[in-house]
Amino acid sequence: MNAVITARGLRKHYKNTIALDDVDFTIPSGRIVGLIGPNGAGKTTALKAILGLTPFEGELHVLGLDPRTQRNKLMEQVCFIADVAVLPRWMKVHDAIDFVEAVHPRFDRAKCEALLKRTKLTSNQRVKQMSKGMIVQLHLALVMAIDARLLVLDEPTLGLDILYRKEFYQRLLEDYFDDDKTIIVTTHQVEEIEHILTDLMFIRDGKIVLDTDMEAMGDRFVEVMVSVDRADAARALRPIDERQVFGKSIFLFDGADKTVLEGLGETRRPSVSDLFVATMKGTYK
């Protein structure tokens, strides 16, 4: 296993809040990891630490480099899209391409231009004349033309309409992602990325509360739809969540015996968003 990121005892605190509390995790190569957490859980801080944008305590290696001291070298292999609209507003499309081509050793101009051909963007257009969706298209084209090993996406589709959002992830999957690349993505629109993730990390109050690949998640968590008369039997198995739909109860179990659950009703793999809601209950209280 070729680890892209290893974190041991990662800590970061701001004046009176702890953003990362002794976090350990490992991300192997060729994965798409969803880093999901409520607002203020420490997602962005974790990403900033990985990108060397913020000081932290503990041990963190990204592609074998320390982001604190070897940031310049690291950024040749790492790409980063924060939320939308961080491209400088004065820039024209061709300025952006010229500049990135000049400063980035792994940028492929032809690929970038080919990607932009599929959009409505013209080479003389300025960022300030573009819609949010178009800015993201430009940014994505620039980033996808860079042969990087790690791509970090922090709420990349914030404020985009559904067409742009779908296109964004489709492009990434079809034209970018392969076994040598790793993508870390944070977003609140969990449903939209659920099907592309290979791994899932839940973060809450600076701690990783769930770190699993999607297959293992399906084995561990089971949702059962139970009719009212059997609800008490289901509750006895200590579900982590319960909700009512059309007169039936849906229970979410963590690590319960599957054969027993199948006896209670129809079972299925829970959606990431249901799992998220169940895991994060009481966060804002």
Partner 1 sequence: MKTFLWLVKREFWEHRGGFLWAPVITGGVFLLLNLMGIITAEVIGARHGISFGASGELRNVMSQMDAGDMSKVGMALDVAMYSSMAIITVVLGFVVFFYCLGALYDDRRDRSILFWKSLPISDTSTVLSKVVSATVLAPTIAVAVGILAGMAQLVMVAITLSFHGINVWQLLTLAHPFRVMGNLLGYIPVYVLWALPSAGWLLLCSAWARTKPFLWAVVLPVASGLLISWFGIMGLFNLPTSWFWREVVVRGLFSVFPGGSFTATNGTAHTLTINGESGLDVLNLGHSWAAIGTLNLWIGVAVGAALIAGAIWFRRWSDDS
Q: How far is the CB of 90 from partner 1 (least distance, A)?
A: 5
Closer CB to partner 1, 34 or 156, in the complex: 156
Closer CB to partner 1, 157 or 249, in the complex: 157
From first CA to last CA, the distance across the chain in angstroms is 40
Closer CB to partner 1, 95 or 242, in the complex: 95
CA distance 147 to 156: 19
Buried residues in 135-145 as b, exposed as e (16+ CB within 10 A): bbbbbbbbbbb
Handedness of CA 84, 88, 93, 99 (dihedral sign): negative
CA distance 283 to 61: 30
Closer CB to partner 1, 55 or 263, in the complex: 55
Q: How far is the CB of 202 from partner 1 (least distance, A)?
A: 24
Q: How far is the CB of 72 from partner 1 (least distance, A)?
A: 5
Q: How far is the CB of 217 from partner 1 (least distance, A)?
A: 30
Q: Is 270 exposed, middle or buried (0-12, 13-18, 19+ CB in 10 A)?
A: buried
Give me the residue label for tokens 């922090």.
154
Cβ-based neighbour number of residue 245 at 10 Å: 8
CA distance 1 to 121: 40
Q: How far is the CB of 177 from partner 1 (least distance, A)?
A: 18
Q: How far is the CB of 105 from partner 1 (least distance, A)?
A: 7
Closer CB to partner 1, 55 or 255, in the complex: 55
| 247 token code pair | 């007169």
Which residues lie near partner 1 (CB under 8 A)?
Answer: 48, 51, 53-55, 71-73, 75-76, 78-82, 85-91, 95, 99-100, 102-105, 139
Percent of the chain as helix, strand, coil, to the nearest 5: 35, 30, 35
Closer CB to partner 1, 100 or 214, in the complex: 100
